[in-house]
Amino acid sequence: MTDRGALARRIFTVSHLTGTFTLRSGAVSHEYFDKYLFESDPELIREIAAALAPLVPPGTEALAGLELGGVPLAAMLSQVTGLPTLFVRKEAKTYGTCRLAEGGELDGRRVTVVEDVVTSGGQVVASCGDLRERGAIVEHALCVIDREAGGPDALGAIGVELRPLFRMHELQP
């Protein structure tokens, strides 16, 4: 069993940066969590996946990892839960299979979206819509960090519950 406080401190220590950063939402922040720093650490990502596993809703048939940061998290969470993983692009490829998601079919499957950090929720909202257009049943999303900048409300507006492992204030020392 993972100690949440210790995990929060470790994530903060490994990935918290200060400076001036423009977020995907367009907002400017003076702190940033470089998720690739916690996702590239094999022990830490395994610990994060173990802590995320209880947040996976019952009835989930597949984990949908969003490009790019959600993919390693979903793959590791798949190892912990035994659920299959789908790898979701920001947009469908225009060649080959022309798929939005690789790793299996979407139509009629209950998928839980996996993302690393959620700020306004814009990309997660868009991806949930894209998955639904292809027949997926999407009612839940998981993330490691909710920056507490509107993501849960944006997702709630489309009927998706965000289940964060940590909210931003829980990571502050």
What does pLDDT average to over the chain? 94
User: What residues contact 30, with CB distance under 8 A and at least 6 apart?
Assistant: 18, 19, 20, 21
pLDDT of residue 23: 82
Q: Are 140 and 159 in contact, with CB atoms under 8 Å apart?
A: no
The one-letter code for the residue type at 166 is F
Mean pLDDT of 102-120: 96
User: Rounded to whole angstroms, how far apart are CA atoms 114 and 136?
Assistant: 14
Instruction: Give Cα separations from 159 to 89, 111, 139 (angstroms).
Output: 21, 14, 6
Query: What residue ranges do the domains of the chain occupy?
Result: 4-171
Structure confidence by residue, pLDDT tens digits, 41-66: 999 999 999 999 999 999 999 999 99
| CA nearest neighbour of 58 among 4, 105, 112, 101 | 112
| pLDDT computed for residue 82 by the predictor | 98
pTM above 0.85, yes or no: yes
Output DSSP code: residue 53. Answer: G
Compute and round to an integer the Cα radius of gyration of the chain.
15
d(CA 154, CA 21): 22
The pLDDT tens digits for 92-109 are: 888 888 899 999 999 999
Which CATH number, 1.10.540.10, 3.40.50.2020, 1.20.1440.230, 3.20.20.80, labels domain 4-171? 3.40.50.2020
Q: Given pLDDT bands bounded at 50, 70 and 90, which one contains residue 2? A: low
C-alpha span between 79 and 96 (Å, rounded):
28
| Residue whose entry in the numeric block shows the structure tokens 């999407």 | 138
Percent of the chain with pLDDT over 90: 88
